[in-house]
Chain A
Amino acid sequence: SQQGEEDPQALSIQEGENATMNCSYKTSINNLQWYRQNSGRGLVHLILIRSNEREKHSGRLRVTLDTSKKSSSLLITASRAADTASYFCATANQAGTALIFGKGTTLSVSS
């Protein structure tokens, strides 16, 4: 069963614009993670935000977490064509042994 659900499923923007993706989850979490997957490649970890954190930055990425609403958002500022990829949120299963993924948001950035 999937823990997280990303919204929107697909997003198309122009270079230089900001991209915002949302993730909702069902149960309490210890942390929430965001991953990027370029077409035909493996997943790459972007950022981990713990349940006691509200916001975290990494370069052009900003992640927020609202545990009261069981939701998180990933903001990519000043998007580039190279940001074209699928983005997934993931949380740990109860035992902390593996990740549970949402279905992802497919971002397309055109130049």
Chain B
Amino acid sequence: NAGVTQTPKFQVLKTGQSMTLQCAQDMNHEYMSWYRQDPGMGLRLIHYSVGAGITDQGEVPNGYNVSRSTTEDFPLRLLSAAPSQTSVYFCASSYSSILNTEAFFGQGTRLTVV
């Protein structure tokens, strides 16, 4: 059971480039979300999904797109990378609402935009 898998683990982008951070879970979880973690701060929510075909914005969505075509995958797209997007990105999933259960996290993607 792999849990939540994020790829790549590390990435360096030039300003203006685009890329997709991959997230896959094999636990048949309905809820998935993306967070970013910056030094000295907790995790901030970027986008989340409550099932295939359903996504919504979190606290810091600007510059990011998501889609959820399958239950397993929840990719995060950076449209035009900026230095302010240098961060560590975490994907998480939960079986149902966070009101009732815990979240499982991937190992993170460390992104540097130069």
Contact = CB atoms under 8 A, between A and B. Distances in A.
Interface of A: 1-2, 4, 30-31, 33, 35, 40-45, 48, 88, 92-93, 96-104
A102 B42 contact: yes
Interface residues of B, number: 29
Given A41-B107, A96-B99, A99-B92, A88 B42 contact: yes
B90 A99 contact: no
Interface of B: 4, 31, 33, 35, 40-45, 48, 50, 56, 58-59, 90, 92, 97-108
Kindly list the 7 A-B residue pairs having the minimum CB-CB distance in the complex, ordered from nearest: A101-B42, A96-B99, A96-B97, A42-B105, A45-B102, A92-B98, A43-B105
Given A42-B90, A43-B90, A103-B42, A98 B98 contact: yes
8 contacts: A30-B99, A40-B108, A42-B107, A96-B100, A97-B33, A98-B33, A98-B92, A103-B41
Contacts of B105: 35, 42-44
Given A97-B33, A102-B42, A48 B102 contact: yes
A88 B43 contact: yes
Contacts of B45: 93, 98-100
Contacts of A92: 97-99
A103 B40 contact: yes
A29 to B, nearest CB: 9
Contact of B48 (A43, A44, A97): A97
Given A44-B105, A92-B98, A104-B42, 12 more contacts: A42-B4, A43-B43, A43-B103, A48-B102, A88-B42, A93-B98, A96-B98, A97-B56, A98-B45, A98-B48, A98-B58, A99-B103
B48 A45 contact: no
Contact of A42 (B40, B58, B97, B106): B106
B85 to A, nearest CB: 19
